[in-house]
Amino acid sequence: MAQTIYEQIGGEEGIRRLTRRFYTLMDELPVAAACRAVHGPSLAGAEQKLFDYLTGWLGGPPLYTDKHGHPMLRARHMPFTIGEEEIEGWLTCFAYAWAEVAADLPARDLVMRKVVELAHHMRNKDVEAPQKVTSLL
């Protein structure tokens, strides 16, 4: 039987390393300032919730669902302003942390693409604004 991504990155310890590194980067990287400002003074609660969510999402035990019910991620994030700057900061932190934890994972890029889609789905600020387009001229 094929291993889940959760198992491939080391189970609970791999997810802990990922979420710990993610929130350390959020505190350290200037690009994450807008995203960090959305959180309270302590990131411990957010880190635990992300750990619970990613554990189940990547094929481990359904910790988040068991504790909080259906994720309904967009609805749960609606009270917070999430625009391009917040998404960019969040994704930068996740990309660095994911690259460290999942460097040799066959599905690394697939998971990252899904995370990018999910992050953009959370957007609730300037939703009608055109996406940034890089000119080729």
Closest CA to 98 of 5, 2, 32, 27: 5
Q: Quickly state the pLDDT bin for 33 (edges 50, 70, 90).
A: very high
Q: Is residue 80 in some structural domain?
A: yes
Q: Tell the burial category of 20 from Cβ atoms under 10 Å away from its Cβ (0-12, 13-18, 19+).
A: middle
- On whether residue 78 sits in a domain, the answer given is yes
Q: Can you list the positions of beta strands (E) in 3-93? A: none
- In the chain, the percentage of residues whose pLDDT exceeds 70 is 93
121 a known binding residue?
no
Is residue 1 in some structural domain? no
Domain contains 10: no
Report the range of poorest mean pLDDT among 53-62, 67-76, 103-112, 121-130. 121-130
Total domain count, the chain: 1
The answer as to whether 40 is a domain residue is yes
CATH classification of the domain holding 114: 1.10.490.10
Instruction: Report which residue type is found at 121.
Output: H
3 in any annotated domain: no
Residues 6 or more apart in contact with residue 97 via CB below 8 angstroms: 18, 19, 21, 22, 25
Name the band, by pLDDT with cuts 50, 70 and 90, for residue 75: confident
Identify the H or E element spanning 19. helix 11-28
Range of the domain at 78: 18-121
In a domain? residue 104: yes
